[in-house]
């Protein structure tokens, strides 16, 4: 691989943005801009691990099919770790990496042994940061699932995940894969009634996995549960359009309840800009905290979930803000009061924020899918 590390002089172009783009006194700093020197484009997710940020890009890199990278959050120095070729090793890693026992695990939307590029049904892979070796644990074939968008959850000797499509009915699936043998087991195939197209990653709470689907149920998506011990699947809630629809974001457990975001629906109905909701863990009852208007500056389109910081929930919208290039918002979980915390300007700060924010100390980190100094998206931090 001829992947290049960004030189230190490029850091001089980092930009700090404040008002008038921010509705409050939020300070956003562009930590790194993608799109140059084979470093990748379209950053899809971030995790914090051992004092650094790790993530993936869905495109670019040495093989043109995405990268894995390491980023120093203090200096802004980015190190490409691996470039996907789009062939057997996979293409377009959209899901967040999982750091487990000093190794990273993830999925690719495309590629694998059964098809190349975006047409391939995808993979589950592991990456050893010590050696730089990427190993495909499983190549999807369709009946066992295809096109995983999300990351993985580790429980004992197994990894659990979802695929966006494929499975017995083609509507997506839940799977597990053995860390010892790499054998994949199909656990549940979605059938429209119980959900369709699970895009976001599942979360583990008190031994139960919780996830969301884009559609199915009443037609607007569901929250589902899966018990790994009993292999029992259940629909916890079917969304009515006024509660939100097109649930692309994952869930967060905060103060004994589930919180999430819907890409569409809300108080505006089928034409709404989405919402932030609270869900009772036991009953599945939904309370809409805030419905987005779909128009500036409130905007809409939250793809990522919410992150709690100092008693408030923070998230991103890919069409929010004063110029509709995306925004960071905050919501009071008690009152439902929402504030546009920062509006992206499609300059060096980027545009189209994509993922759930990551909290490190008191600082939130996130990505934009496009924009930045080189047009390939950014990693930013905001306080």
Q: What is the pLDDT of residues 184-194, one digit of tens each?
A: 999 999 999 99
If DSSP codes are grouped into helix, strand and coil, which group holds residue 270? helix
376 has a pLDDT exceeding 90: yes
Residues 383, 365: Cα–Cα separation, whole Å: 9
231 has a pLDDT exceeding 90: yes
CB atoms within 10 A of CB 12: 7
2 has a pLDDT exceeding 60: no
Name the nearest CA neighbour of 149 among 120, 188, 122: 122
- Which pLDDT band holds residue 26 (cuts at 50, 70, 90)? confident
**Is 126 part of any domain?**
yes
Domain containing 166: what range?
84-189
Residues 347, 325: Cα–Cα separation, whole Å: 10
What confidence tens digit (pLDDT) does each residue in 294-344 have?
999 998 999 999 999 999 999 999 998 999 999 999 999 999 999 999 999
10 Å CB burial of residue 271 (0-12, 13-18, 19+) is exposed
Residue-by-residue DSSP string for 17-48: E-TTS-SSS--EEEEEE-SSTT--EEEEEEEE
Cis ω on the peptide bond leading into residue 339 (within 30° of 0)?
no
What confidence tens digit (pLDDT) does each residue in 337-359 have?
999 999 999 999 999 998 999 99
**Is 90 part of any domain?**
yes
User: Parallel, antiparallel, or unpaired for β 286-291 and 158-163?
Assistant: unpaired
Instruction: Tell me the pLDDT of the chain averaged across its residues.
Output: 92
**Is 345 part of any domain?**
no
Residues 307, 253: Cα–Cα separation, whole Å: 9
Q: Is the model's pTM score more than 0.95?
A: no
24 has a pLDDT exceeding 90: no
What total of structural domains would you count in the chain?
1
Pair 363, 339: CB distance under 8 Å:
no
**Is 257 part of any domain?**
no
What confidence tens digit (pLDDT) does each residue in 357-366 have?
999 999 999 9
**Is 207 part of any domain?**
no
The pLDDT score that the predictor gives to residue 37 is 77
**Is 175 part of any domain?**
yes
CB atoms within 10 A of CB 289: 21
State how far the alpha carbon of 309 is from the alpha carbons of 66, 306, 359, in Å.
Answer: 31, 10, 8
**Is 132 part of any domain?**
yes
196 has a pLDDT exceeding 70: yes
Q: What percent of the chain has pLDDT over 90?
A: 90
**Is 182 part of any domain?**
yes
Phi-psi region of 184 (alpha: psi -120 to 50; beta: other; left: phi over 0): beta
**Helix, strand, coil distribution of the chain in percent, nearest 5:** 5, 45, 50
23 has a pLDDT exceeding 80: no
What confidence tens digit (pLDDT) does each residue in 125-135 have?
999 999 999 99
What confidence tens digit (pLDDT) does each residue in 131-154 have?
999 999 999 999 999 999 999 999
Residues 276, 284: Cα–Cα separation, whole Å: 15
């Amino acid at each position: 691989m001829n992947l290049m590390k960004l030189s230190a002089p490029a850091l001089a172009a980092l930009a700090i943005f404040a008002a008038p783009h921010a509705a409050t006194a939020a300070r956003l700093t562009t930590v790194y801009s993608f799109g140059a020197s084979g470093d990748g484009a379209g950053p899809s997710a971030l995790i914090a691990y051992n004092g650094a940020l790790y993530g993936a890009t869905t495109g670019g890199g040495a093989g043109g099919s995405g990268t894995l990278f390491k980023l120093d959050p203090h200096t802004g120095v980015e190190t490409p770790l691996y470039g996907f070729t789009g062939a057997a090793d996979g293409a377009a890693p959209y899901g967040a990496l999982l750091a487990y026992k000093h190794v990273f695990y993830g999925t690719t939307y495309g590629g694998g042994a059964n098809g190349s590029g975006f047409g391939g049904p995808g993979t589950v892979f592991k990456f050893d940061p010590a050696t730089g070796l990427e190993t495909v644990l499983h190549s999807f074939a369709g009946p066992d699932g295809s096109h995983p968008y999300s990351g993985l959850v580790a429980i004992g000797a197994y990894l659990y995940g979802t695929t966006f499509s494929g499975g017995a009915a083609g509507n997506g699936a839940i799977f597990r894969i053995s860390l010892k043998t790499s054998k994949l087991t199909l656990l549940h195939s979605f059938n429209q009634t119980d959900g369709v197209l699970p895009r976001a990653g599942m979360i583990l709470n008190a031994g139960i996995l919780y996830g969301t689907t884009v559609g199915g149920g009443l037609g607007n998506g569901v929250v589902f549960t899966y018990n790994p011990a009993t292999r029992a699947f259940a629909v916890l809630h079917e969304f009515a359009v006024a509660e939100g629809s097109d649930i692309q974001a994952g869930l967060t457990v905060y103060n004994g309840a589930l919180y999430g975001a819907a890409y569409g629906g809300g108080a505006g109905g089928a034409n709404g800009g989405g919402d932030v909701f609270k869900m009772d863990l036991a009953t599945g009852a939904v309370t809409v905290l805030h419905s987005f208007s779909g128009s500036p500056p409130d905007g809409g389109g939250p793809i990522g979930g919410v992150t709690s910081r100092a008693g408030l929930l923070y998230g991103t919208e890919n069409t929010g803000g004063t110029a509709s290039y995306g925004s960071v918002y905050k919501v009071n979980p008690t009152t439902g009061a929402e504030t546009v915390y920062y509006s992206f300007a499609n300059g060096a700060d980027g545009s189209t924020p994509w993922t759930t924010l990551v909290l490190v100390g008191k600082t939130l980190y996130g990505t934009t899918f496009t924009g930045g100094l080189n047009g390939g998206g950014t990693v930013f931090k905001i306080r």
